[in-house]
């Protein structure tokens, strides 16, 4: 269908982002391709080093899955910030990723832990890393005839893996002004063996900072090291301004929240 109709057809999953835009007549597809009833797109599979979710898995299913919470802890943490109960009961994991709002929670998680998106078209499938998948504000590298089919979420195998997700929004459940996610792993002596962190709402896509995170490896994730990392991330980010937050305010929040997320992830890792 997508191949036939091109731009005048749009996929609809949970509709939590698409339908408001259609109601306001900002988006006017002639055809909606409803993928909600495709069972093959709704699943949670936990494997050794990855967890896979079907694109149409409801956010609440992912949120409630204890197996996923243990293997990909950032998902449950992030979902606590996503909209409200009604949003998550209908919204899908794939839908949020495909919508690619740079301040949305799930795209940030995908970017930080380097999730991979599997896309399907009539011609076959291909997989894109999150970094390549998100191409701009509300834009992905999905081709017009492709549908996001499933997401591979990497699992970290270290015992002392900790994670954190935090954001500042005006009201509970609102779009984040800035969001931050972090995941760190410590060895038995408390030294960082791996780190990943990122920011939402601080650029045209969700941002991750692998180079800065790499410099945290080998440290004990002391507050000063974390402050430096957060500082570096804030300097690299490129937030916009709008009614609720100016550029300067967002850049400031970026630094504050990146540091908070890293500290909380470190403390979480120590507790494991």
Positions in the binding site for other proteins (CB under 8 A) = 12, 15-16, 19-20, 23-25, 32, 34, 36-37, 60, 83-87, 89-90, 168, 170-175, 177, 243-246, 249, 252-253, 256-257
Q: How far apart are CA 266 and CA 45, in angstroms?
A: 28
Least Å distance between CB 120 and other proteins?
Answer: 21
**Cα separation, 71 vs 129, whole angstroms:** 19
Provide the minimum distance between the beta carbon of 169 and other proteins in the complex, in angstroms, as a whole number. 9
Closer residue to other proteins (CB): 13 or 265: 13
In the beta sheet, which residues pair with residue 165?
181
Closer Cβ to other proteins, 52 or 64, answer by number: 64
Residue 33 CA to residue 11 CA, distance in Å, equals 5
Dihedral, CA of residue 186, residue 188, residue 191 and residue 197, to nearest 10:
0
| CB nearer other proteins, residue 19 or residue 50 | 19
Token pair for 82: 């996503």
Nearer to other proteins, 23 or 224 (CB): 23
Contact criterion met (CB below 8 Å) for 148 and 117? yes
Report the nearest approach of other proteins to the CB of residue 74 (Å): 20
In a 13 Å sphere around the CA of 208, the CA atoms on its Cβ side amount to: 23
| CB nearer to other proteins: pick between 81 and 153 | 81
Query: C-beta of 248: minimal distance to other proteins in Å?
Result: 8
What is the nearest approach in angstroms of other proteins to the Cβ of residue 35?
A: 11
Alpha-carbon 161 to chain mean position:
18
Minimum CB–partner distance for residue 85 and other proteins (Å):
6
Residues in a beta bridge with 181: 165, 198
Helix 223-236 to helix 247-271 angle (10° resolution) is 140
DSSP 176: P
Distance CA 124, CA 130 (A): 19
Residue 45 or 248 having the CB closest to other proteins: 248
Provide, rounded to whole angstroms, the least separation between the CB of residue 236 and other proteins.
20
**What is the spatial distance between Cα 41 and Cα 61, in angstroms, rounded to a whole number?**
13
Structure tokens at 260: 């908070």
Q: How far is the CB of 3 from other proteins (least distance, A)?
A: 20
Q: Based on CB atoms, which residue is closest to other proteins, 76 or 90?
A: 90
Q: Tell me the longest C-alpha to C-alpha distance in the chain.
A: 59
Q: Which is nearer to other proteins, 104 or 117 (CB)?
A: 104
């Amino acid at each position: 269908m997508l191949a036939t109709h091109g731009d005048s057809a749009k996929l609809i999953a949970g509709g939590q982002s698409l339908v408001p835009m259609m109601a306001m007549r900002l988006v006017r597809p002639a055809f909606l391709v409803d993928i909600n009833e495709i069972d093959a797109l709704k699943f949670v599979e936990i494997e050794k080093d990855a967890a896979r979710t079907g694109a149409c898995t409801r956010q609440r299913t992912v949120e409630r899955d204890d197996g996923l919470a243990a293997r990909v802890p950032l998902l449950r943490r992030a979902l606590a910030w996503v909209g409200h109960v009604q949003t998550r009961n209908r919204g899908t994991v794939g839908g949020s990723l495909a919508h690619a709002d740079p301040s949305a929670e799930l795209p940030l998680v995908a970017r930080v832990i380097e999730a991979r998106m599997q896309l399907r078209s009539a011609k076959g499938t291909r997989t894109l890393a999150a970094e390549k998948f998100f191409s701009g504000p509300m834009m992905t590298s999905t081709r017009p005839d492709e549908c996001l089919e499933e997401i591979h979420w990497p699992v970290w195998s270290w015992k002392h893996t900790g994670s954190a997700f935090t954001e500042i929004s005006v009201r509970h459940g609102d779009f984040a002004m800035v969001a931050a996610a972090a995941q760190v792993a410590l060895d038995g002596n408390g030294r960082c063996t791996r780190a990943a962190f990122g920011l939402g709402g601080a650029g045209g896509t969700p941002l991750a900072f692998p180079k800065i995170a790499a410099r945290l490896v080998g440290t004990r994730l002391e507050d000063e090291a974390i402050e430096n990392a957060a500082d570096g991330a804030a300097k690299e980010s490129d937030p916009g301004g709008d009614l609720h937050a100016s550029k300067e305010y967002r850049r400031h929040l970026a630094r504050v929240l990146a540091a908070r997320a890293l500290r909380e992830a470190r403390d979480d890792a120590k507790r494991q």
